[in-house]
Protein backbone atom coordinates (compact mmCIF):
# COMPACT_ATOMS: atom_id res chain seq x y z
CA UNK A 1 0.00 0.00 0.00
CA UNK A 2 1.59 3.19 -1.16
CA UNK A 3 0.70 5.45 1.71
CA UNK A 4 3.13 8.17 0.66
CA UNK A 5 0.98 8.89 -2.38
CA UNK A 6 -2.11 9.67 -0.34
CA UNK A 7 -3.06 13.34 -0.22
CA UNK A 8 -2.16 15.08 3.02
CA UNK A 9 -5.62 16.32 3.66
CA UNK A 10 -8.21 13.97 2.32
CA UNK A 11 -11.24 15.72 0.85
CA UNK A 12 -14.07 15.94 3.33
CA UNK A 13 -16.75 13.60 2.16
CA UNK A 14 -19.82 12.49 4.04
CA UNK A 15 -19.27 8.97 5.30
CA UNK A 16 -22.07 7.48 3.17
CA UNK A 17 -20.60 8.74 -0.10
CA UNK A 18 -18.39 6.15 -1.74
CA UNK A 19 -16.87 8.15 -4.51
CA UNK A 20 -15.18 5.91 -7.04
CA UNK A 21 -13.16 8.81 -8.31
CA UNK A 22 -11.83 9.42 -4.84
CA UNK A 23 -10.87 5.76 -4.46
CA UNK A 24 -9.07 5.93 -7.79
CA UNK A 25 -7.21 9.11 -6.92
CA UNK A 26 -6.15 7.89 -3.52
CA UNK A 27 -5.14 4.50 -4.94
CA UNK A 28 -7.28 2.70 -2.44
CA UNK A 29 -7.71 -0.96 -3.14
CA UNK A 30 -11.10 -2.47 -2.61
CA UNK A 31 -12.06 -6.11 -2.87
CA UNK A 32 -13.02 -7.23 -6.33
CA UNK A 33 -16.51 -8.57 -6.60
CA UNK A 34 -18.08 -10.73 -9.28
CA UNK A 35 -21.59 -9.65 -10.14
CA UNK A 36 -24.00 -11.33 -12.50
CA UNK A 37 -25.94 -9.07 -14.85
CA UNK A 38 -28.74 -10.58 -16.86
CA UNK A 39 -29.70 -12.73 -18.68
CA UNK A 40 -33.03 -11.01 -18.30
CA UNK A 41 -32.02 -7.41 -18.07
CA UNK A 42 -34.45 -4.91 -19.56
CA UNK A 43 -31.77 -3.05 -21.48
CA UNK A 44 -30.19 -5.97 -23.30
CA UNK A 45 -33.08 -6.34 -25.80
CA UNK A 46 -32.81 -10.07 -25.62
CA UNK A 47 -31.02 -12.41 -23.31
CA UNK A 48 -27.41 -11.58 -22.65
CA UNK A 49 -25.65 -12.43 -19.43
CA UNK A 50 -22.62 -10.45 -18.33
CA UNK A 51 -20.30 -11.68 -15.61
CA UNK A 52 -18.76 -8.49 -14.27
CA UNK A 53 -15.70 -8.30 -12.10
CA UNK A 54 -16.08 -5.03 -10.23
CA UNK A 55 -13.67 -2.99 -8.19
CA UNK A 56 -16.05 -0.70 -6.38
CA UNK A 57 -18.00 0.73 -9.27
CA UNK A 58 -15.30 0.21 -11.85
CA UNK A 59 -15.52 -2.71 -14.25
CA UNK A 60 -12.26 -4.64 -14.38
CA UNK A 61 -13.31 -7.61 -16.48
CA UNK A 62 -16.40 -8.66 -18.38
CA UNK A 63 -17.34 -12.05 -19.63
CA UNK A 64 -20.37 -12.09 -21.90
CA UNK A 65 -22.26 -15.38 -21.75
CA UNK A 66 -24.22 -15.79 -24.95
CA UNK A 67 -26.22 -18.66 -26.36
CA UNK A 68 -29.48 -18.30 -24.44
CA UNK A 69 -31.29 -17.81 -27.74
CA UNK A 70 -29.45 -20.49 -29.67
CA UNK A 71 -31.94 -22.11 -32.05
CA UNK A 72 -29.46 -24.19 -34.05
CA UNK A 73 -30.04 -22.33 -37.31
CA UNK A 74 -27.05 -24.09 -38.84
CA UNK A 75 -28.27 -27.52 -37.88
CA UNK A 76 -31.69 -26.67 -39.31
CA UNK A 77 -30.08 -25.64 -42.59
CA UNK A 78 -28.64 -29.12 -43.01
CA UNK A 79 -31.94 -30.81 -42.28
CA UNK A 80 -34.31 -28.69 -44.35
CA UNK A 81 -34.58 -27.99 -48.05
CA UNK A 82 -33.48 -24.59 -49.35
CA UNK A 83 -37.11 -23.63 -49.81
CA UNK A 84 -38.02 -24.49 -46.23
CA UNK A 85 -34.94 -22.85 -44.79
CA UNK A 86 -35.68 -19.55 -46.50
CA UNK A 87 -38.69 -18.99 -44.30
CA UNK A 88 -36.61 -19.51 -41.16
CA UNK A 89 -33.74 -17.15 -41.67
CA UNK A 90 -35.65 -13.93 -41.06
CA UNK A 91 -35.50 -15.00 -37.43
CA UNK A 92 -31.71 -14.79 -37.38
CA UNK A 93 -31.84 -11.01 -37.12
CA UNK A 94 -35.44 -10.16 -36.51
CA UNK A 95 -35.00 -6.41 -36.90
CA UNK A 96 -33.53 -6.65 -40.38
CA UNK A 97 -35.10 -9.71 -41.92
CA UNK A 98 -34.63 -8.41 -45.46
CA UNK A 99 -30.87 -8.56 -45.08
CA UNK A 100 -30.71 -12.09 -43.73
CA UNK A 101 -32.89 -13.27 -46.61
CA UNK A 102 -30.76 -11.33 -49.03
CA UNK A 103 -27.51 -12.76 -47.63
CA UNK A 104 -28.68 -16.31 -48.26
CA UNK A 105 -30.24 -15.49 -51.62
CA UNK A 106 -27.18 -13.65 -52.85
CA UNK A 107 -24.74 -16.46 -52.09
CA UNK A 108 -27.05 -19.03 -53.67
CA UNK A 109 -27.47 -16.88 -56.77
CA UNK A 110 -23.73 -16.42 -57.15
CA UNK A 111 -23.22 -20.15 -56.78
CA UNK A 112 -25.93 -20.83 -59.35
CA UNK A 113 -24.85 -18.00 -61.64
CA UNK A 114 -28.31 -16.48 -61.78
CA UNK A 115 -28.82 -12.96 -63.13
CA UNK A 116 -31.58 -11.19 -61.31
CA UNK A 117 -34.01 -8.91 -63.25
CA UNK A 118 -33.45 -5.23 -62.69
CA UNK A 119 -36.86 -4.50 -61.29
CA UNK A 120 -36.37 -7.19 -58.67
CA UNK A 121 -32.99 -5.72 -57.73
CA UNK A 122 -34.52 -2.27 -57.32
CA UNK A 123 -37.33 -3.69 -55.22
CA UNK A 124 -34.72 -5.42 -53.06
CA UNK A 125 -32.83 -2.19 -52.54
CA UNK A 126 -36.00 -0.25 -51.70
CA UNK A 127 -37.22 -2.83 -49.21
CA UNK A 128 -33.88 -3.33 -47.54
CA UNK A 129 -33.23 0.39 -47.17
CA UNK A 130 -36.69 0.74 -45.64
CA UNK A 131 -35.73 -2.06 -43.32
CA UNK A 132 -32.48 -0.30 -42.47
CA UNK A 133 -34.45 2.78 -41.47
CA UNK A 134 -36.83 0.77 -39.27
CA UNK A 135 -33.88 -0.96 -37.63
CA UNK A 136 -32.03 2.28 -36.91
CA UNK A 137 -35.22 3.93 -35.65
CA UNK A 138 -35.85 1.11 -33.20
CA UNK A 139 -32.26 1.42 -32.04
CA UNK A 140 -32.67 5.17 -31.56
CA UNK A 141 -35.79 4.79 -29.45
CA UNK A 142 -34.54 1.98 -27.27
CA UNK A 143 -31.10 3.49 -26.83
CA UNK A 144 -32.63 6.62 -25.39
CA UNK A 145 -34.71 4.44 -23.06
CA UNK A 146 -31.50 2.70 -21.96
CA UNK A 147 -30.01 6.08 -21.15
CA UNK A 148 -33.01 6.98 -19.04
CA UNK A 149 -35.20 9.02 -21.40
CA UNK A 150 -38.21 6.90 -20.54
CA UNK A 151 -40.93 9.35 -21.48
CA UNK A 152 -41.73 11.31 -24.56
CA UNK A 153 -38.89 10.96 -26.97
CA UNK A 154 -38.95 7.20 -27.81
CA UNK A 155 -42.45 7.54 -29.21
CA UNK A 156 -41.29 9.68 -32.13
CA UNK A 157 -39.00 7.10 -33.79
CA UNK A 158 -41.55 4.38 -33.10
CA UNK A 159 -44.29 6.46 -34.69
CA UNK A 160 -42.31 6.81 -37.93
CA UNK A 161 -41.16 3.21 -37.85
CA UNK A 162 -44.78 2.14 -37.70
CA UNK A 163 -45.50 3.82 -41.04
CA UNK A 164 -42.73 1.87 -42.72
CA UNK A 165 -43.78 -1.39 -41.07
CA UNK A 166 -47.29 -0.89 -42.45
CA UNK A 167 -45.84 -0.48 -45.93
CA UNK A 168 -43.65 -3.55 -45.54
CA UNK A 169 -46.61 -5.52 -44.25
CA UNK A 170 -48.65 -4.47 -47.27
CA UNK A 171 -46.05 -5.85 -49.65
CA UNK A 172 -44.86 -8.97 -47.84
CA UNK A 173 -47.68 -9.90 -45.49
CA UNK A 174 -45.65 -9.68 -42.30
CA UNK A 175 -44.41 -6.84 -40.17
CA UNK A 176 -41.01 -8.23 -39.31
CA UNK A 177 -40.45 -11.76 -40.66
CA UNK A 178 -40.86 -10.75 -44.26
CA UNK A 179 -39.61 -13.74 -46.27
CA UNK A 180 -39.82 -11.31 -49.20
CA UNK A 181 -36.42 -11.71 -50.85
CA UNK A 182 -36.21 -15.19 -52.34
CA UNK A 183 -33.53 -17.08 -54.22
CA UNK A 184 -33.95 -15.75 -57.75
CA UNK A 185 -35.86 -12.55 -57.08
CA UNK A 186 -38.53 -11.19 -54.82
CA UNK A 187 -41.89 -12.47 -53.73
CA UNK A 188 -44.29 -10.00 -55.35
CA UNK A 189 -44.83 -6.55 -56.80
CA UNK A 190 -46.07 -3.95 -54.34
CA UNK A 191 -49.85 -3.48 -54.29
CA UNK A 192 -51.61 -0.59 -56.03
CA UNK A 193 -51.07 2.79 -54.42
CA UNK A 194 -48.07 1.56 -52.46
CA UNK A 195 -45.47 3.72 -54.19
CA UNK A 196 -47.52 6.88 -53.57
CA UNK A 197 -47.55 6.18 -49.86
CA UNK A 198 -43.83 5.51 -49.88
CA UNK A 199 -43.19 8.80 -51.71
CA UNK A 200 -45.25 10.59 -49.10
CA UNK A 201 -43.13 9.05 -46.36
CA UNK A 202 -39.84 9.85 -48.10
CA UNK A 203 -40.86 13.50 -48.45
CA UNK A 204 -41.81 13.94 -44.82
CA UNK A 205 -39.14 11.82 -43.17
CA UNK A 206 -36.20 14.32 -43.29
CA UNK A 207 -38.16 16.76 -41.15
CA UNK A 208 -38.74 13.95 -38.64
CA UNK A 209 -34.98 13.37 -38.44
CA UNK A 210 -34.54 17.08 -37.83
CA UNK A 211 -36.90 16.72 -34.88
CA UNK A 212 -34.90 13.85 -33.39
CA UNK A 213 -31.67 15.72 -33.78
CA UNK A 214 -33.14 18.87 -32.22
CA UNK A 215 -34.11 16.89 -29.14
CA UNK A 216 -31.15 14.56 -28.77
CA UNK A 217 -27.91 15.61 -30.44
CA UNK A 218 -27.02 18.65 -28.36
CA UNK A 219 -28.88 17.58 -25.26
CA UNK A 220 -26.56 18.13 -22.28
CA UNK A 221 -27.66 14.98 -20.47
CA UNK A 222 -27.19 12.92 -23.61
CA UNK A 223 -23.74 14.43 -24.19
CA UNK A 224 -22.70 13.66 -20.61
CA UNK A 225 -23.77 10.04 -20.98
CA UNK A 226 -22.17 9.45 -24.38
CA UNK A 227 -19.21 11.79 -25.00
CA UNK A 228 -15.94 10.02 -24.32
CA UNK A 229 -17.69 6.83 -23.28
CA UNK A 230 -16.82 3.50 -24.89
CA UNK A 231 -13.99 4.77 -27.05
CA UNK A 232 -13.17 2.22 -29.73
CA UNK A 233 -10.03 3.01 -31.62
CA UNK A 234 -9.65 2.19 -35.29
CA UNK A 235 -7.04 -0.48 -34.61
CA UNK A 236 -9.12 -2.17 -31.93
CA UNK A 237 -12.16 -2.28 -34.18
CA UNK A 238 -10.19 -3.69 -37.08
CA UNK A 239 -8.48 -6.39 -35.05
CA UNK A 240 -11.85 -7.63 -33.76
CA UNK A 241 -13.48 -7.66 -37.18
CA UNK A 242 -16.01 -4.98 -36.24
CA UNK A 243 -18.13 -3.75 -39.16
CA UNK A 244 -21.03 -1.45 -39.83
CA UNK A 245 -21.73 1.91 -38.18
CA UNK A 246 -19.49 1.00 -35.23
CA UNK A 247 -16.50 0.74 -37.55
CA UNK A 248 -17.41 3.78 -39.63
CA UNK A 249 -17.81 5.88 -36.49
CA UNK A 250 -14.20 4.96 -35.67
CA UNK A 251 -12.98 6.45 -38.91
CA UNK A 252 -12.77 3.52 -41.34
CA UNK A 253 -14.93 4.26 -44.40
CA UNK A 254 -15.76 0.61 -44.99
CA UNK A 255 -19.18 0.06 -46.49
CA UNK A 256 -19.88 -3.00 -48.60
CA UNK A 257 -22.34 -1.05 -50.74
CA UNK A 258 -19.52 1.22 -51.91
CA UNK A 259 -16.41 -0.93 -51.47
CA UNK A 260 -17.67 -4.08 -53.13
CA UNK A 261 -20.80 -2.78 -54.83
CA UNK A 262 -23.58 -5.25 -55.45
CA UNK A 263 -27.11 -5.19 -56.84
CA UNK A 264 -27.94 -1.72 -58.26
CA UNK A 265 -25.97 0.30 -55.70
CA UNK A 266 -23.45 1.47 -58.35
CA UNK A 267 -26.28 3.30 -60.13
CA UNK A 268 -27.31 5.18 -57.03
CA UNK A 269 -25.63 8.29 -55.71
CA UNK A 270 -25.03 8.13 -51.98
CA UNK A 271 -22.33 8.84 -49.43
CA UNK A 272 -20.60 6.53 -47.00
CA UNK A 273 -20.89 8.06 -43.54
CA UNK A 274 -17.55 7.86 -41.80
CA UNK A 275 -16.54 10.02 -38.87
CA UNK A 276 -12.89 10.80 -38.25
CA UNK A 277 -11.76 12.73 -35.21
CA UNK A 278 -15.20 12.74 -33.58
CA UNK A 279 -13.99 10.85 -30.54
CA UNK A 280 -14.73 7.29 -31.76
CA UNK A 281 -17.18 7.05 -28.87
CA UNK A 282 -20.83 6.20 -28.41
CA UNK A 283 -21.82 9.70 -29.46
CA UNK A 284 -20.04 9.23 -32.79
CA UNK A 285 -21.95 5.99 -33.33
CA UNK A 286 -25.20 7.83 -32.70
CA UNK A 287 -24.25 10.53 -35.22
CA UNK A 288 -23.28 7.90 -37.76
CA UNK A 289 -26.60 6.08 -37.52
CA UNK A 290 -28.68 9.24 -37.73
CA UNK A 291 -26.74 10.33 -40.80
CA UNK A 292 -27.37 6.91 -42.32
CA UNK A 293 -31.10 7.46 -41.87
CA UNK A 294 -30.87 10.42 -44.23
CA UNK A 295 -28.74 8.51 -46.73
CA UNK A 296 -31.14 5.57 -46.78
CA UNK A 297 -34.00 7.97 -47.33
CA UNK A 298 -32.18 9.44 -50.32
CA UNK A 299 -31.48 5.97 -51.73
CA UNK A 300 -35.19 5.13 -51.56
CA UNK A 301 -36.08 8.42 -53.27
CA UNK A 302 -33.69 7.70 -56.14
CA UNK A 303 -34.87 4.12 -56.48
CA UNK A 304 -38.50 5.20 -56.80
CA UNK A 305 -37.49 7.43 -59.72
CA UNK A 306 -35.23 4.90 -61.41
CA UNK A 307 -37.07 1.62 -60.99
CA UNK A 308 -37.72 -0.01 -64.40
CA UNK A 309 -41.42 -0.15 -65.14
CA UNK A 310 -42.22 2.58 -62.64
CA UNK A 311 -44.94 2.15 -60.07
CA UNK A 312 -47.23 -0.84 -60.04
CA UNK A 313 -50.01 1.14 -61.75
CA UNK A 314 -47.70 2.28 -64.53
CA UNK A 315 -46.39 -1.24 -65.01
CA UNK A 316 -49.88 -2.65 -65.28
CA UNK A 317 -50.88 0.01 -67.80
CA UNK A 318 -47.79 -0.61 -69.94
CA UNK A 319 -48.38 -4.33 -69.98
CA UNK A 320 -51.99 -3.84 -71.09
CA UNK A 321 -50.92 -1.54 -73.93
CA UNK A 322 -48.25 -3.95 -75.07
CA UNK A 323 -50.57 -6.97 -74.70
CA UNK A 324 -47.67 -9.02 -73.32
CA UNK A 325 -45.83 -9.43 -76.64
CA UNK A 326 -43.39 -11.87 -75.02
CA UNK A 327 -40.19 -10.34 -76.47
CA UNK A 328 -37.31 -10.57 -74.04
CA UNK A 329 -36.08 -7.02 -74.65
CA UNK A 330 -39.50 -5.33 -74.74
CA UNK A 331 -39.45 -2.14 -72.68
CA UNK A 332 -42.98 -2.71 -71.46
CA UNK A 333 -43.10 -6.36 -70.57
CA UNK A 334 -39.53 -7.60 -71.00
CA UNK A 335 -37.39 -9.70 -68.72
CA UNK A 336 -36.06 -6.68 -66.82
CA UNK A 337 -39.51 -6.07 -65.41
CA UNK A 338 -39.96 -9.54 -64.00
CA UNK A 339 -39.59 -10.03 -60.29
CA UNK A 340 -38.35 -13.59 -60.33
CA UNK A 341 -35.83 -15.20 -62.64
CA UNK A 342 -36.60 -18.76 -61.68
CA UNK A 343 -39.80 -20.24 -60.42
CA UNK A 344 -39.33 -21.55 -56.94
CA UNK A 345 -40.62 -24.75 -55.57
CA UNK A 346 -39.58 -27.18 -52.91
CA UNK A 347 -37.27 -29.01 -55.32
CA UNK A 348 -34.88 -26.10 -55.85
CA UNK A 349 -31.25 -27.21 -56.01
CA UNK A 350 -28.06 -25.17 -55.73
CA UNK A 351 -25.05 -26.12 -57.81
CA UNK A 352 -22.21 -27.85 -56.01
CA UNK A 353 -19.53 -25.51 -54.72
CA UNK A 354 -18.82 -23.17 -51.88
CA UNK A 355 -19.12 -19.46 -51.53
CA UNK A 356 -19.40 -16.50 -49.21
CA UNK A 357 -21.07 -13.40 -50.64
CA UNK A 358 -22.29 -11.07 -47.90
CA UNK A 359 -24.46 -7.93 -47.83
CA UNK A 360 -24.25 -4.78 -45.73
CA UNK A 361 -26.86 -5.00 -43.01
CA UNK A 362 -27.68 -2.20 -40.53
CA UNK A 363 -25.11 -3.77 -38.19
CA UNK A 364 -22.36 -4.63 -40.63
CA UNK A 365 -21.26 -7.39 -42.94
CA UNK A 366 -23.80 -10.19 -42.86
CA UNK A 367 -23.34 -13.32 -44.92
CA UNK A 368 -23.48 -17.06 -45.14
CA UNK A 369 -20.66 -19.39 -46.00
CA UNK A 370 -22.44 -22.07 -47.98
CA UNK A 371 -21.06 -25.45 -48.91
CA UNK A 372 -23.42 -27.10 -51.34
CA UNK A 373 -23.13 -30.57 -52.80
CA UNK A 374 -25.77 -30.07 -55.47
CA UNK A 375 -28.68 -31.58 -53.59
CA UNK A 376 -31.79 -29.90 -52.28
CA UNK A 377 -30.20 -29.41 -48.87
CA UNK A 378 -27.10 -27.55 -47.82
CA UNK A 379 -24.05 -29.56 -46.81
CA UNK A 380 -23.07 -26.82 -44.37
CA UNK A 381 -24.16 -23.27 -43.78
CA UNK A 382 -22.07 -21.09 -41.48
CA UNK A 383 -23.33 -17.64 -40.60
CA UNK A 384 -21.18 -14.56 -40.31
CA UNK A 385 -23.22 -12.24 -38.15
CA UNK A 386 -22.18 -8.65 -37.55
CA UNK A 387 -23.60 -8.60 -34.03
CA UNK A 388 -21.49 -11.62 -33.11
CA UNK A 389 -18.22 -9.94 -34.04
CA UNK A 390 -19.30 -6.55 -32.72
CA UNK A 391 -20.28 -7.97 -29.34
CA UNK A 392 -16.96 -9.74 -28.90
CA UNK A 393 -15.28 -6.34 -28.56
CA UNK A 394 -17.47 -5.35 -25.59
CA UNK A 395 -15.11 -6.62 -22.82
CA UNK A 396 -12.37 -4.38 -24.21
CA UNK A 397 -14.61 -1.32 -24.22
CA UNK A 398 -15.78 -1.84 -20.65
CA UNK A 399 -12.38 -2.07 -18.96
CA UNK A 400 -12.23 0.82 -16.51
CA UNK A 401 -15.75 2.02 -17.17
CA UNK A 402 -18.15 2.71 -14.31
CA UNK A 403 -21.06 0.35 -13.96
CA UNK A 404 -23.51 3.02 -15.12
CA UNK A 405 -21.82 3.19 -18.51
CA UNK A 406 -22.28 -0.49 -19.32
CA UNK A 407 -25.67 -0.01 -20.92
CA UNK A 408 -24.57 3.14 -22.66
CA UNK A 409 -21.71 1.27 -24.34
CA UNK A 410 -23.61 -1.93 -24.97
CA UNK A 411 -26.57 -0.09 -26.47
CA UNK A 412 -24.37 1.91 -28.79
CA UNK A 413 -23.03 -1.26 -30.46
CA UNK A 414 -26.61 -2.10 -31.50
CA UNK A 415 -26.44 -5.81 -30.84
CA UNK A 416 -29.37 -8.06 -31.63
CA UNK A 417 -29.06 -11.15 -29.49
CA UNK A 418 -30.78 -13.62 -31.85
CA UNK A 419 -28.24 -12.46 -34.41
CA UNK A 420 -25.46 -13.42 -32.00
CA UNK A 421 -26.89 -16.74 -30.93
CA UNK A 422 -28.62 -17.87 -34.14
Q: Using only C-alpha atoms, what is the Rg of the chain? A: 24
If phi > 0 it is left, if psi is from -120 to 50 it is alpha, else beta; for residue 175 that is alpha
Q: Do strands 58-65 and 378-384 pair parallel, antiparallel, or not at all (unpaired)?
A: unpaired
If phi > 0 it is left, if psi is from -120 to 50 it is alpha, else beta; for residue 277 that is left
Which CB atom, from 88 or from 379, has the smaller least distance to another protein? 379
Min CB(36)–another protein separation in Å: 15
Min CB(351)–another protein separation in Å: 10
If phi > 0 it is left, if psi is from -120 to 50 it is alpha, else beta; for residue 402 that is beta
Min CB(126)–another protein separation in Å: 22
Which CB atom, from 122 or from 240, has the smaller least distance to another protein? 240
Min CB(420)–another protein separation in Å: 9
* SS3 of residue 209 by DSSP: helix
Rounded to whole angstroms, how far apart are CA atoms 62 and 166?
40
Which CB atom, from 27 or from 375, has the smaller least distance to another protein? 375
Which CB atom, from 23 or from 382, has the smaller least distance to another protein? 382
Q: What b/e readout covers 227-246, taking b as 16+ CB neighbours within 10 angstroms? A: eebbebeeeebeebbbbbbb
Residues forming contacts to another protein in the complex (CB under 8 A) are 66-67, 70, 72, 74-75, 78, 107, 110-111, 238-241, 252, 254, 256, 259-260, 262, 352-358, 365, 367, 369, 371, 373-375, 379-380, 382, 384, 388-389, 392, 421-422
- C-alpha to C-alpha distances, 186 to 76, 122, 220, 368, nearest whole angstrom: 23, 10, 45, 19
List, in sequence order, every beta strand (DSSP E) within 275-374.
353-356, 359-361, 364-372
Q: CA dihedral defined by 394, 400, 406, 409, rounded to 10 degrees?
A: -60
Q: What is the DSSP letter of 81?
A: B
Min CB(211)–another protein separation in Å: 35
Q: What is the DSSP letter of 377?
A: B
Which CB atom, from 44 or from 107, has the smaller least distance to another protein? 107
Which CB atom, from 316 or from 349, has the smaller least distance to another protein? 349
Which CB atom, from 253 or from 402, has the smaller least distance to another protein? 253
Min CB(12)–another protein separation in Å: 45
> In sequence order, which residues have a C-beta less than 8 Å from that of residue 40 and are 6 or more positions away?
47
Which CB atom, from 81 or from 373, has the smaller least distance to another protein? 373
Rounded to whole angstroms, how far apart are CA atoms 114 and 273?
31
Min CB(237)–another protein separation in Å: 10
Which CB atom, from 54 or from 66, has the smaller least distance to another protein? 66
Min CB(70)–another protein separation in Å: 4
Min CB(60)–another protein separation in Å: 16
Count Cβ atoms within 10 A of the Cβ of residue 266 and give its class: 0-12 exposed, 13-18 middle, 19 or more buried.
exposed
Amino acid sequence: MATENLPETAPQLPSFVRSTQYAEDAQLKTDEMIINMGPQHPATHGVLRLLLTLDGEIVRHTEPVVGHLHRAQEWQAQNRTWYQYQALIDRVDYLSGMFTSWALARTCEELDGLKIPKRAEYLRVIMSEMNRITSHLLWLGTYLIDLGAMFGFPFYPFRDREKLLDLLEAVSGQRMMFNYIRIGGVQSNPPLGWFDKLKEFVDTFPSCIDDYEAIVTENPIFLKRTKGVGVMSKELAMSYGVTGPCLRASGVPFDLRKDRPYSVYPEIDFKVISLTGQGDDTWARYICRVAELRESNEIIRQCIEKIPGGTTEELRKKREECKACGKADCANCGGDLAIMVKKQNSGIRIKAGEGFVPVESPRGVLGTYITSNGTDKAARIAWRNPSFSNLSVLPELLVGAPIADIMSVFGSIDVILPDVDR
